[in-house]
Copies of this chain bind each other. A is one copy, B any other.
Amino acid sequence: MRQKPTVLAREIVASSRLFRVEELQLRFSNGVERTYERLVSRGSGYGAVMIVAMADARSVLLVEEYCGGTDSYELSLPKGLIEPGEDVLEAANRELKEEAGFGARQLEFLAELSLSPGYMSQKIQVVLARDLYVEHLPATSRSRCVSSASTWPSCRASCSTRSSARGGRWPRCTWRAIY
């Protein structure tokens, strides 16, 4: 195990409604000093959850939503923030109902992932959801916009766009609305 650097100083250097940037002064074990910046959680910080919801043994549910970062509609696994008082599996089931219109009778923790460990402190909990049933909850105020659900590999949109890129190896597949 490598020895982690010593944090000599830390300071919030920029802040907005959603983002907070922390500057770290670090000294590594070889004596080298460096300035790093990272995004840290705002406010409560109960974490986030992403759901691998199996529509059947070979298909996973995807939702389509507008992504402000890339100014495009994208397909993704359902995901969202964990609310105060919720455990990870409860949050997964709520987000699945809000975003995809399904609940799950079987929920199982899979893994914790870092999206970008170099620049973000945030992590996301990944939950496997099976034995689905139809139940749609209205989105909470934190939800970003209405999504539609599809399944992979029977999806389209992002997949087919990317497969047309140079040498792209994304599967070619077709959209299928499931409710």
Residue ranges of A at the interface with B (Cβ–Cβ < 8 Å): 1-2, 4-5, 7, 13-19, 21, 23-24, 26, 28, 32, 34-39, 64-74, 76, 108-112, 114-123, 144-145, 162, 165-170
Contacts and interface: CB of A to CB of B under 8 A. Distances in A.
Contacts of A7: 71
A21 B21 CA distance: 10
Contact of A68 (B2, B24, B70, B76): B24
Nearest to A168: B111
* Copies per assembly: 2
Contact of A15 (B14, B32, B169): B14
A123 B165 CA distance: 14
B66 A109 contact: no
A29 to B, nearest CB: 10
Contacts of A13: 16-17
Given A18-B119, A37-B16, A162-B111, A4 B68 contact: no
B114 A116 contact: no
A90 B90 CA distance: 47
A68 B119 contact: yes
Contact of A110 (B26, B112, B169): B169
